[in-house]
Structure 1
Amino acid sequence: MKGKKLMAMLMAGSMLLAGLTGCGGSTAKGGGAAASADDYPNGPVTVICPWGVGGGADVIARKISEVAKNYFDQPIIVENHTGASGTIGMMDAMDADADGYTMVVANGPLFSLTPKYIDVSYDLSDFTMLRGMRQVSLMILTNPQKSSIKTFDDLINYGKTHKITYATSSGPGGDQYVVSSAMFKSLGIEAEPVVMGSEAESINAVVSGQVDCGLGTPPAYYSHQEEGTIQAVATFYPEAVKTPYGEVKSIKDWGVDVEFAGMDCLAVRSDVPQEIVDKLNAMLDDVYADSKFTGFMDEMGYPLWDAKGDEVTKFIEDQMDSMDKYVEMLK
């Protein structure tokens, strides 16, 4: 329950910060300074978050900005530029000057999947990845109190005689929709997605019995699992995931060749000078070593993904290959 109270406080604080820093306004610059490492930073640095206030990526970015006050000469300000599946924020980051005064929170599907369905003016080569933030395991959730589906085997057997309804927070073109559709097709199961407006709505649809199963990420559903109204029966993560409620096996254990690991990372435009990239990475080194940050990540249940830039880029490239395969499966 302590984590839930902390999340509530963080969301309230994030909403206040959003009001102070703006929601989609122009990005802050370093006072018109040239993109030189000699006097960098000499003004505030903006982090564009392409998703809303209070989400995992947003609260982590805000915690980084808070802890960075001890290691960085200028304030780091988080702005939420939302819309169009995150691409508005990404394109705003592309439009910002390449002076190191604008970072952006990104994830894999913004490069591996979204451009297949939305016309965007960026690609992976336009960005330098700075550091991973977290990895996210996507879980298949059921409500054992509302249905007979208590295990992944139960779900498969149920699907042999019924059309399965499942809640997802992304529609066609979204990561949850694509990987879940590929999984059900691989299993030869007819399934109908019920697209919800948020992950919380998807989880509530499972809890209320509106759907047979749904998709969610730790720790968003933990309070419901504690109450017995949610059971994580399998994960799209390529290996088993340990949770406070036991180990959750990968669908690969059932021979399903579909996997997905979500992640968030920090990036800048690829034409930002290397000397400035090095200064930003040095700041992140200090933040990621600070117990205030690592303790926050532990408390919130977010696995810290301290991947360096090349590793993040390789992760996205591999995911691009996987998504090509899954999209082809659905044609």
Structure 2
Amino acid sequence: MQQRKSGSWIGYVIRSVILGLVVAAFVIWLQPLISAWQAERVTPDQPMSFAKAVNRAAPAVVNIYSLSEVRGSYYNRRPNTVLRLGSGIIMDNVGHILTAAHVVANVSSIQVALQDGRQTSAQVIGTDPVTDLAVLRIELDNLPIIPQDLQLRSNVGDVVLAIGNPLNLGQTITQGIISATGGRMGVINSHADLLQMDAVINEGASGGALVNSEGYLVGINNAQFRGPAGQGVEGIYFAVPYVLAHDIMTKLIEEGEVVRGYLGVNTGDRPQSQQQPGILVTGVDPNSPADRAGLRADDYIIEIAGQPIASSAEGLALISNTKPGTELEVRFIRDNTELTTTVTISKLSY
């Protein structure tokens, strides 16, 4: 009996020793992984930084200097030459640059300055006033290209960095978050599904890059929101989303222009009394496709070409992407009665 207990005790000790050795070996194997994880943690000695994102994106953001002539005064009829400032983004290795259309509108010459010190003239490939985008081209080799990913989508709350040349102070970085996405924010009739953010854009930074915390392009900086009296509103700035800008850039490069469908309605917010998704018609352009189809103010459009329409931006996008001459069936509500009409889309001119 005593011998059996002694053997049991010895077996227990042996199993314990073996288990201890296994655990020790596992801890030794795991130690490098733990050390690496601890090294990556943000500590007081390693504060949060966006330096990596800036180093990736900033070299591809250029300064744009354009000259334009303005009329002289009554007492001096000679035109005056005015220097205008802006920013742009190198998009590919053949020298295409995206910028804001208002930066290069009605100018006589354009100079581009890279961050590596090189300067060169630029040619306008095309402009799109609707989205306020323009494509330039420069003839230089070894160009820095901004990181891009067409699968990326921006969300409210994303941290963003605006890169540009405000007031010709030199390249400057401002930081903020995306506070809204989609075609709202007082630009209901806009064809640009704008991003709203609070990263500051001052004069000269228009056309610059809006990038995420990894340095990838998410938008082209556009403008500051203006109040009823025309004054700038702090903390409300806009950018054209990268995916839309890339589509516009491709069309300008390949076709020289952006052809859009035109319906001819002004739209507004959904009235509180209307629960069904749709868009409110607040006005109809005379002799437009909408006018000829019998649409009028206060109609409530709920479907276009069999597709339910939930917002003004969605409806404008559908019309914009429709080839001129196409007939579309429009379902709408007027005086609590559902009606249908057919419109023939024409070409948007500007």
Place the TM-score, normalised by the shorter chain, in its bin. under 0.3
Give TM-score scaled by structure 2 length: 0.24
Give TM-score scaled by structure 1 length: 0.25
Structure having the higher strand fraction is: 2
Larger radius of gyration: 2
Structure having the higher helix fraction is: 1
